[in-house]
Chains A and B, each alone.
Chain A
């Protein structure tokens, strides 16, 4: 485990950094909401919000003003503490899990090195899985605190769904851990640098045409993982928690205004975690395909002629690359939401337990067997 720093300066910077990552997550939500509304309009061949500001971008501000001027309401029959605490707690697991995902190469200044992530954790995968699944508690709190049967039913469905897909999610990553042999996200990303190359039967297979990304080793794992994250973040086609046709709005039936917005931040936060993990596990994280970190560093050195400027340049370029991948997966989340219809509840549970879990098991066994055979048999 790397520490939060030894000197007062380092500790201060690291703590401010966690706050910055959290604020980044929060400010990404209005942009995503805008993207979702414009994107859905684009997919459904209509205009979407286009009146407030250029391309409707100021719609976010208008929404915020509306949220602020809403009356603060709590149902009389509910549990007031849980009702108010649930939206606050919804932010915490999403934000903390998101912080463990590295976003760029560490920034080297004269004396200290700063990681471009909230905090580095050696058991990153276990940490992210453990923390992000705490979201089930906030949903149950909301459902129980509202005192409404629709909320409670939505919350029970959501928690059963989240824990069921937790299995497929956890098992689909075992193949990834087998390939990389580490829980640490930074080490995984460094292993995905360079062109595709691996050892099999005593030979080294290499091709410069493809980057050394996890997707080429774990295609089935990638599909299972991505599908399971849709269920984890309660997005369509698995948004049974808020199936409007049956449950009004599910666990947030009684919520409105800012409290509702905070649930949204939590939900979008889980999408961001899923997108970040997809990029990290299967698509090289912040790494740029065909270009190594050292190439960017040398380019920066030639451009600016100073070590620190080159370091900053390197970090910024990789940060942009990470965000392109990250944004692409977020767009896929939105795209899928407006393309697929909702599952039925029994279909959802069957898919999770009887289809994805066995497939993930097969993926694990095949990965382990292939690694075993290709290491032990030489030709």
Chain B
């Protein structure tokens, strides 16, 4: 055992201090999928910090991809008479009714990350360009694979539209190269542990696999854990998300590339537009807005922090 003296640094709550003097603007409810996933946590953080800076109080909640729970939380928001809701919804089609309910109760809803197929229900829908993100990372993948060889695809969660879009964009690019052969395609449920378990098996079934393209970050990191355990450093791995853990993997060279989704930026944009609507009655110019994903390689990995690019 080793004893170490360290200085205990006191936590400072600077964000609250300048929010205190702003006029009382009410509460904004921020609802995301889960707070244990760094992506959603950053989304919530981005929205919450922006809202507090603009003088709102915030409530951050998670629905865990459960449409029923999301519905109940929106009921609570209506009962509580919040000013507005920033929502990363639980399911694109099954969420429409709940959002409509909030709108009828006079509470504007801004959707982030996931879209719904109808217009004029949400105030605004801000999403990532998953197609562009998937295409960019697929391009790097093909380049690193030298346009040929056997590869596997680990999708993140095929029950999620964004994940399906990413998979489609991968194929849009990769299928142009006849020498790229897909030997396995599996859904890894978006988690580290399933990513590892499935990659273990794929490595056994197809020892000659040369690359893995992954639908999100945790799955890519799980695949890397499996490759590490099997002492395979020759396999190209790419992913999408851009968490700090992925950044470290890119820096270490185990992850060739990833695309950072601007989670904090879309959340902050959502809050700004919501604020404009609440204070000045201005509706956003467009109902659907898309943010680009930013390709992260070893050149710019240093700048990534909590789904934000430091300039």
Do A and B interact with each other, yes or no? no
